[in-house]
Amino acid sequence: MTYLPPRLALVGDRSPAVRSHARIPGLLDALAEHDRLVLDAYWIPTGDAEAPGALDGFDAVWLLPGSPYRSEAGAMAAVRTARESGIPFLGTCAGFQHAVLEFARNVCGLDDAVHGEEHPDGEQQVIAPLACSLVGHEGTVTIDPGTLAERVLGTTRTLERYHCAYGLNAAYLDRLRAHGLRFSGADASGEVRILELPDHPFFLASLFQPELSGDGTRAHAMIRALAGAATAHADSSATAATA
């Protein structure tokens, strides 16, 4: 049987002006060279992700930074497809923000939940301006023991880089937790920086950008973990197809 590498959907509006986007090709090469994790990656603009079946056949979804997205609906559709279909998912920066927003609307029933960047006058700003912008900021994140984030990062304390000015509105924390979203990492002031879904095969998102870690020659642990989850998903799908 011919081996086909796992298919990764890179959902985002690719731009050379977005530093994390520019790093993606090198990180994919690093995964192949250093970690023997070869992925067949496709860039999917958010407008295309909005179409029904746009992510069919993919083994993982990575919702990338770069908000405001050209299509909020497409970003939300990518999150929902991964969440409901058990497809490994990683959201970084804006990907984290829209993972929260999708969960708030479609799981918590907060139909009027909005992102403050796109809807500054919205009453239910589940994603709101940060008290202090994190653009160009580097800070420590403390990880809860026993979580997916701890297993992936292999530590309960990590130093990460940011490029964002919006984050989770703490007023909605209890509602989101009550419906199953787990917040597994926080900064020194207790502000949420990582989320996950415990009942999902692999669903992880961070407000920081692991793409910006180091010099770009080695993939961050979260990116390696997504690649590993994509491989496991591809293997499982192939087994099911031949059963």
What are the tens digits of pLDDT across the range 79-105? 999 999 999 999 999 999 999 999 999
Give me the amino acid identity at 80: R
> How confident is the model at residue 24, as a pLDDT?
95
> Is 2 within a domain?
no
Mean pLDDT of 4-23: 94
Longest distance between any two alpha carbons in the chain, whole Å: 56
Which pTM value belongs to this model?
Answer: 0.96
Whether 1 has a pLDDT exceeding 70, the answer reads no
Please state the domain count of the chain. 1
Q: What is the pLDDT confidence band of residue 164, given thresholds at 50, 70 and 90? A: confident
> How confident is the model at residue 243, as a pLDDT?
62
What single string gives the DSSP state of each residue in 28-88? Answer: HHHHHHHH----EEEEE-HHHHTSTTTTTT-SEEEE-S-SSPS-HHHHHHHHHHHHHHT--
Instruction: Output the domain CATH number for residue 115.
Output: 3.40.50.880
Whether 52 has a pLDDT exceeding 60, the answer reads yes
Q: Which domain holds residue 102?
A: 7-242
Q: Which residue(s) pair with 114 in the sheet?
A: 125
> How confident is the model at residue 2, as a pLDDT?
62
> Is 190 within a domain?
yes
Q: Mind listing the pLDDT tens digit for each residue in 199-243?
A: 999 999 999 999 999 898 999 999 999 999 999 999 988 777 766
Looking at residue 169, the DSSP 8-state letter turns out to be: -
> Is 1 within a domain?
no
